[in-house]
Structure formats: structure tokens, C-alpha cells
Chain A
């Protein structure tokens, strides 16, 4: 029984010694000395010291991880790294999956020398003139296997603006190359292109838009200066320009504010075409003085102009007929004694002992206005009448209706 035990121990020691010696003789070594490869190159890692083709190789790159099985050739293990690992730049780490010997290491894959594509991003696509605003151009030059090319590669950035063409060199850094492009003082269209090691990009356009307008002047034009309530006064601006004398963009909204004698506001507006905005307003129908100012909201304003409108009607006649129940106002004559154009407003207020009973507003036709006083509303009696037109008011006290 005792002997048996000894034999058992002996076997145990022998077998473990065997394992130990195997460890010593079998020193697996990496034969491949190259540590840096170019993307797309075929990479084979060769190990000597073992012929055990069941040993797998773990390897991982930027995107993923996999296991590779070897091929036994000339008493060496050859691991052909899969193409998806060979084709992407970055560090690849590997580890030999051998139970006693965990050999591991890394190698580096760099991008191919020549770029074949340039992904270019330009934005924002429009900027304001005036050397303040800028757009940015970002280029990612990539090689045939879609790898960003090496750091510090020169990229030529070319630009054309009006008569000016220029070129500058930028360097790739952090996988990209970029440049801020500041706007010139004039507005216009800027064309951009890049070149990297003989590879040219397509053309990129940046719109340099005029900046915001500076203060401007306004003018008024009218057929005559009479307050006939019929003609139209046209307001125009001077050419709106930014501080670098670029005519501001078409469609800029200009609001004209008109303040009359009573301090009431009238508003009209227009949008610029070639820098000029136009707006219109009908003449007042009574003597008036307008003070006009235009603004581009929040940006700029104009000077203030003053417009006087002369009275057209000095006086008018009132004729009563039909038991004083028909009132005819007119003829209403304009500045050349011509009958005033249709549409002049005439207002009648009927009151009795200070209390307003009826109000009527009518517009003139062929120089006359007729009011009918309805006996169903205004019974027989004495009434005060007040007639207003073109800013003139006439009152008739205690007119008897019957």
C-alpha cells in the first residue's frame, strides 16, 4: 500500500516536471520584426518555437476584435492578419492564446501616402461682409481605404473673390485640416477649393452677403401739395448701404412712420430693391402737416422730413329743401374750382338741446352730398345741425323740421 503511494507521487512529480521542461524548450518567439505597416499591406505575423497549429491569435484594431488561426510553414506559425484589420489605421494589439505563454504585442498601421478623396465641409454657406464674420472649411483627406491621412500633411486652400485670388497652406491635425475664412469688406461670391498632394477638390461657394444697413435718408414725391384725400404721396429711401458701402440685400423691410398734427401715427412700408425701398400713402383730406421717419427695425433709421398739405376747400354751401328734411352739401370745389373728385367724406351730426340724436357719414359724388332726414326718426321740431368736411365745420342752430 505504501509503495503504491510512492509510485503515485513519483508519477505526479514526473508529469509536472515534463510540463515544466516543455515550457523551457518551447520558447515561442515572434519572428516578424516590422512594427509599422501601411494600410492595405498584407501583414503576416510569424512565430517560431512551436508547431502547434491550434494556437489562435487574438487581435483587435480600432473597430473590432477577432481570432486568427495560423498556417504551419517551415516549422513556423504564420498568422495572416485579416484584411479588415490591415486596411484601417491605428494600433493593432495581438495576443497569442497559448496556455503557458501569453506572448502579446502591438503594431501600427499608418495611412497610405496619397489621398484619393477629400471630404470637405464648408459652413455656414453665407456670411456677412465686413471682415468680422467667418465661415469654416474642414477637409478630411482620406486614402484609398478611407483612412484619414497622416498628421501634418499640407493642404492648399485656394480662394477667389472678385479680382483677388489667393492660396494658403494648412496642415492636417486631429485627422482633419481646417481654416476659418473671414469675410472681405465687399459683398459678393467667394469660391473655395482645396488641394492635397496633387488631389484637387471640387469648387465650393460661399455667399458674402452685405452687412446690415447704416442710417439713410428719405424723400417724398407728390403730384401736388393739396390735401384732396385723393392723390398719393410716394416715399423713397436713399440707397441703403452697409458700412463698407455694399448695397444691402434686396427685400430688407423698411417701415415708414407718419406722425400727424394730432400726434396720431400712420404707418406704411416697403422692401428694398437695389437698396431703395418705396412706400405710398394717400393724401389727407384736410389741412395737415406730416412728419415722416423710416426705420429698418433694430438696425438703422432715416432723417425726419416734414410735409405740409394745403386746404383745398375754403367754404361750401348748404341747401335745405323738402320741409328742411333734404340737406344738400355742395358744390364742393377743389383748388382750381374743379368739382372735388368723388369720395370726400362729409359728416352730419343732428342734435337737440345738446344731445346727439343722429350721425351720418357720406362720401361726395360729382361734388355733392345729400342727406335725407327721416321723419320716423326725427319728428317735427327744432334741431341743431353740424356738417363737417375737409376739416371745415359749419353749424346751423335750431333748424325747424316739419
Chain B
């Protein structure tokens, strides 16, 4: 017995020893490796070139008019970059009324002209926010010594907003033709002369498109495991195909999905994401589901100098999928009216309008809409969109009143209910507020009204979600928890009572 005790004692001591030593080694090891992190050689030497893409108007070169020396591709690329930078710097200068940066892109004599404007605008507190949306430069002449270039920039589409005393005064879109002389100085192609030869202001005429009978019976779709991250690392086309089967079998014909602006790579759209989107659209086409593709999800800048970047983003996606049979409509932006307060209604509307005309210029066949978050804003830009869409999360009883109000403001465009739904959450954070039964009743009532009025609809949403990213409704539990329970199918895959009323 004594011997056994001794052995236990021994064993215990040895074990304790091993544990203490290994903990010690772990602590020393991790502090050592922590101290070894830090400046690596490449960051010490500042070898990397930090150049952000800030200005990407649509630019098409013609070089057939060149009377001088032959222009090589490398020089042309350098000229393009410096010429666009010159425009960008000019826009920044007029926005801020400060001369930062113009020295690099305008020669000494040319920059005087800009400084004269700034002096006046500053004195009168005028500021101009502008961007150019497209350029068609043509090289007219390149000198033999490679130091001077004359180019004619045709159809420069420039959008401007003028502010006086911080108040919006006017906006205008103009198309102009410029002649430009650029000189190569200190390694920069600098503007020496700039002459506007022609200009006309553009009244964006929207061509009327006959909108077919929409008859959308649909749903807003995210996979259950990856809400708001449909095209991420966990992308699984098989799961999505399955879900499409469920949606189709429930009697629906439309889905609304979302393309996140940053996730898709902003101006330089990520090819991998496009391929995933392609798979989803192909799957929808096979299941005979039509897709409302919502662009610019989570985008919230709208700043005029950011326009060119968003336009390249939309251009890439729209031109890639404009012939896809699954697409029924482009939803430019989800609930942009929520940004009115923080970003300025003027800016948001101008951005939307310009984006619509860009998308229409690329894809004239598919419909365009904006997913307004309520009935109060849904009439905005109604003459630009092909159909009006709005979201509704209030009580079913009030729906007809809201709808009638909206309908009174809409002259001749179809109206689609782009999102509606109710959470079945009735737990700790919002006791007794919802239940599966209440949700089912809500959908039943809504469906009856939608059928009576023959309104196209897209409900929110197929699944209950386990996790809601903080970018959607924040982190507060009384907001995230109800958000998790909007589905027709619960987190265990069981159909909730409302499933019956996905469609009348």
C-alpha cells in the first residue's frame, strides 16, 4: 500500500514537472516568436509601389490620326495614366479648392489657369464636384524627340455638381471635345495647353421600354450556411441547386440575389467570383428560375470621384451576363434611400441615374430597377427605371394603404414588391412579438392581397440563418436575433408553417 502510494506520488510529481516545463517552453517560445515578428526587409526599403486605382473613366484610344513618330504601347500606357491623373487631380483641386498635386500634371504656364479659377472659387466659396465618365482620345501628333504629344479627346462626358456656400446649386452633364498638348517633363506627361473645341449639355433621354407582364412570384435567396456571403470560400453549387429545386417546387419562378461591391473586387472584378456567379445563373436557367441580380450591395460611397470605379465594376458584370437567359432584371442598388441622410440625397440619386444610363447603354434588353426600402421613396427616378420596386416590412394590415399611396405617385410603371416578410422570433430579446403561427398568418394575408392586386412579389427569405454578419443589422442581439428567423425553413431544415404561403 505504501509502495503504491509512493508510485502515485512519483508519477504525479513527474507529470507536474512535465506540464510545468512544457508550459514554460510554450510561453518562452511564443514570446520569442512574437519578438521576431515586425519589420521585414521589403517594408524597410519601401520597395513596393503604392498606387491605388482612383480614376477609371471608360477610355478608348484611337491612334490612326498620328502624323508624327510612331507611338509604342509602353509610351501610350504612360500617357494614358498621366493624362487621366491630370483629370483626376483637376477634379480634386476644384472640389477642395486647394492646389495639391497640380504641379505634377500641369506645366507651369498651364497650372496658372487652374489657380486663377481656384482663387475665384475659393473667394466666392464655390466648389465643384465633377468626374469624367468617358474619354475617346486620339493621338494627333507625337514629336520625333518623344517629348510632345497633341491629342484630341472626343466625347468627354463630364458630370458636375456645383456648390455655393456648401449648398447645392446645380448639376450638369456635358459632352465636350478637347485638344490637348502634353509635354514630357521630369518623367511626367504634363498638360501644356487645353482647348475645349465643342461642348453640348446632355439631357439624358430615357427610351421607353415596353415592360412585359412581370408576373414575378419569387423569393430573395441566400444559402442557409452563408447569408450575405453567397460567393465566398464556402460556395457550394450543389447546395444552391438543391435550394433552387425547393424554390421551384414551391411554385415560385423568380429569385433575387446579391452581388457585393467590395467582395467582387470593386473596379477590378474578381474572375473567380464571376465564375461562381455564372454557375449560379446557369443553375437558375436550368431550373427555369429567373434572376433579379442586385448590384452594389454594401456599397455606400456615392462620391462623384468614386463613380468611375463603380462604373467599371458594373460594366464588367453587366457586359459579362447581359446575354444570360436567367437574368430578368438588374436591381441597381438595394435600399439606396437609407443612405440619403448620411451621403446626401442629391449624390445618391445622381449616382443611381448615371448608373442606370450606363447599364442601359451596355444592356438594352434587360429591365432595370432600384430596390427602394419603403413606399415613400419608391417613386424616385420612376421615369428612369423599367419597373418600380419597393420593400415592405410593416404590418400586413397597413399594406394596402401604403401600396395605394405609392401607386398614386407612379404613372405608368409596373410595381414589384421586392422584399417583404416577418420574423418568427419571439424569444428573450423580443418576447411574444412573433411566432411561426404569426408569420404564417402574415404571409397568408399578404399573399391574398398580392393576388387580389396582381402584384409581383419577392419574399424574404428561404432560410432561417444561424449567423448574421454585423454589417447587415449591427451586433445588438435584439436586432440580430429576429433577423435570423425570417425564413420559410428553420435552421434544422424543417419547413415552418409559413412555407404553405410562399405563394397563393
B197 x A66 contact (CB < 8 A)? no
Chain B interface, number of residues (Cβ within 8 angstroms): 47
B120 x A66 contact (CB < 8 A)? yes
B395 at the interface (CB under 8 A from A): no
A140 contacts which chain B residues (CB < 8 A)? 181, 192-193
The contact string, 1 if C-beta is below 8 Å from chain A, for chain B 141-169, is: 10111111010100000001010100001
**Using a CB-CB cutoff of 8 Å, which residues 95-121 of chain B contact chain A?**
109, 112-114, 116-118, 120-121
- Indicate the member of B94, B164, B178, B196 with the most A CB atoms within 10 Å: B196
The chain A residue sitting closest to B164, CB to CB, is A67
Inter-chain CA distance A106–B200, complex, in Å, is: 9
The chain B residue sitting closest to A93, CB to CB, is B199
The chain B residue sitting closest to A69, CB to CB, is B124
Inter-chain CA distance A180–B69, complex, in Å, is: 10
- Indicate the member of A62, A63, A122, A138 with the most B CB atoms within 10 Å: A63
B169 x A136 contact (CB < 8 A)? no
B68 x A66 contact (CB < 8 A)? no
B394 at the interface (CB under 8 A from A): no
The chain A residue sitting closest to B111, CB to CB, is A63
Q: Pick the residue among A56, A97, A121, A134 that contacts B148 (CB under 8 A).
A: A121
B68 x A136 contact (CB < 8 A)? yes
Inter-chain CA distance A61–B327, complex, in Å, is: 43
Inter-chain CA distance A218–B155, complex, in Å, is: 66
With A91-B196, A175-B195 in contact, is A65–B150 under 8 Å at CB?
no
- Indicate the member of A91, A95, A148 with the most B CB atoms within 10 Å: A91
B201 at the interface (CB under 8 A from A): yes
Q: Pick the residue among A62, A91, A97, A121 that contacts B145 (CB under 8 A).
A: A121
B172 x A134 contact (CB < 8 A)? no
Inter-chain CA distance A87–B347, complex, in Å, is: 33
B201 x A84 contact (CB < 8 A)? no
A146 contacts which chain B residues (CB < 8 A)? 109, 112
A95 x B172 contact (CB < 8 A)? yes
A56 contacts which chain B residues (CB < 8 A)? 164, 169
B113 x A136 contact (CB < 8 A)? no
**Using a CB-CB cutoff of 8 Å, which residues 85-110 of chain A contact chain B?**
88-91, 93, 95, 97, 104, 106
CB distance from B91 to the nearest CB of A (A): 11
B201 contacts which chain A residues (CB < 8 A)? 93, 95, 104
- Indicate the member of A62, A95, A135 with the most B CB atoms within 10 Å: A62
B116 x A84 contact (CB < 8 A)? yes
A298 at the interface (CB under 8 A from B): no
Inter-chain CA distance A82–B196, complex, in Å, is: 17
CB distance from A102 to the nearest CB of B (A): 9
A91 contacts which chain B residues (CB < 8 A)? 176, 196-199
A176 at the interface (CB under 8 A from B): yes
Q: Pick the residue among B68, B141, B170, B196 that contacts A90 (CB under 8 A).
A: B196
A175 x B199 contact (CB < 8 A)? no
Inter-chain CA distance A123–B144, complex, in Å, is: 6
The contact string, 1 if C-beta is below 8 Å from chain A, for chain B 175-210, is: 010110100000000001111111101000000000
B68 x A64 contact (CB < 8 A)? no
B193 x A67 contact (CB < 8 A)? no
A66 x B152 contact (CB < 8 A)? no
CB distance from B502 to the nearest CB of A (A): 46
The contact string, 1 if C-beta is below 8 Å from chain B, for chain A 49-65, is: 00000001010111111
Inter-chain CA distance A115–B128, complex, in Å, is: 33
A90 x B195 contact (CB < 8 A)? yes
A321 at the interface (CB under 8 A from B): no
A393 contacts which chain B residues (CB < 8 A)? none
B116 x A138 contact (CB < 8 A)? no
Interface size, A (range): 35 or more
Q: Pick the residue among B69, B112, B124, B181 that contacts A176 (CB under 8 A).
A: B181
B199 contacts which chain A residues (CB < 8 A)? 60, 91, 93, 106
A368 at the interface (CB under 8 A from B): no
B140 at the interface (CB under 8 A from A): yes
A175 x B150 contact (CB < 8 A)? yes
B169 contacts which chain A residues (CB < 8 A)? 56, 58, 67, 97
A175 x B181 contact (CB < 8 A)? yes
The chain A residue sitting closest to B115, CB to CB, is A84
A61 contacts which chain B residues (CB < 8 A)? 196
A83 at the interface (CB under 8 A from B): yes
The contact string, 1 if C-beta is below 8 Å from chain B, for chain A 25-60, is: 000000000000000000000000000000010101
Inter-chain CA distance A136–B195, complex, in Å, is: 24
A65 x B117 contact (CB < 8 A)? yes
A124 at the interface (CB under 8 A from B): yes
With A174-B179, A176-B150 in contact, is A65–B130 under 8 Å at CB?
yes
The chain B residue sitting closest to A135, CB to CB, is B144
With A175-B181, A178-B68 in contact, is A66–B117 under 8 Å at CB?
yes
With A90-B196, A93-B199 in contact, is A65–B162 under 8 Å at CB?
yes
With A174-B179, A176-B141 in contact, is A62–B196 under 8 Å at CB?
yes
B174 at the interface (CB under 8 A from A): yes
B289 at the interface (CB under 8 A from A): no
**Using a CB-CB cutoff of 8 Å, which residues 193-238 of chain B contact chain A?**
193-199, 201
With A61-B196, A65-B130 in contact, is A180–B124 under 8 Å at CB?
no
B348 at the interface (CB under 8 A from A): no
Q: Pick the residue among B112, B150, B164, B174 that contacts A93 (CB under 8 A).
A: B174
The chain A residue sitting closest to B106, CB to CB, is A63
The chain A residue sitting closest to B183, CB to CB, is A121
B416 contacts which chain A residues (CB < 8 A)? none
B193 x A138 contact (CB < 8 A)? no
A124 contacts which chain B residues (CB < 8 A)? 144-145
Inter-chain CA distance A61–B116, complex, in Å, is: 12
The chain A residue sitting closest to B121, CB to CB, is A66
CB distance from B146 to the nearest CB of A (A): 8
CB distance from B319 to the nearest CB of A (A): 32
With A62-B195, A176-B141 in contact, is A123–B147 under 8 Å at CB?
yes
A88 contacts which chain B residues (CB < 8 A)? 113, 195
Inter-chain CA distance A106–B176, complex, in Å, is: 12
B126 at the interface (CB under 8 A from A): yes
Inter-chain CA distance A56–B116, complex, in Å, is: 20
CB distance from B218 to the nearest CB of A (A): 42
With A91-B197, A136-B68, A175-B150 in contact, is A67–B144 under 8 Å at CB?
no
**Using a CB-CB cutoff of 8 Å, which residues 317-359 of chain B contact chain A?**
none
Inter-chain CA distance A147–B193, complex, in Å, is: 8
The chain B residue sitting closest to A61, CB to CB, is B196
Inter-chain CA distance A63–B112, complex, in Å, is: 10
B193 contacts which chain A residues (CB < 8 A)? 140, 147-148, 175
The chain A residue sitting closest to B126, CB to CB, is A67
B179 x A58 contact (CB < 8 A)? no
CB distance from A40 to the nearest CB of B (A): 14
B114 x A64 contact (CB < 8 A)? yes
A106 contacts which chain B residues (CB < 8 A)? 199
Inter-chain CA distance A95–B120, complex, in Å, is: 18
CB distance from B192 to the nearest CB of A (A): 8
- Indicate the member of B147, B164, B181 with the most A CB atoms within 10 Å: B181
Inter-chain CA distance A229–B7, complex, in Å, is: 99
B152 contacts which chain A residues (CB < 8 A)? 174
Inter-chain CA distance A390–B110, complex, in Å, is: 79
Complex A-B, nearest 10 residue pairs according to Cβ-Cβ distance, in ascending order: A123-B145, A64-B117, A136-B144, A84-B116, A62-B196, A90-B196, A63-B113, A90-B195, A174-B140, A62-B194
4 further A-B pairs in the complex, CB-CB below 8 A; given A64-B116, A65-B128, A136-B144: A62-B194, A123-B145, A148-B181, A174-B150
25 contacts between A and B (CB under 8 A): A60-B199, A62-B194, A62-B196, A63-B117, A65-B130, A67-B169, A82-B120, A84-B116, A90-B197, A91-B199, A93-B199, A93-B201, A106-B199, A121-B145, A123-B147, A136-B143, A136-B144, A138-B143, A138-B148, A140-B181, A146-B109, A147-B193, A176-B141, A178-B67, A180-B144
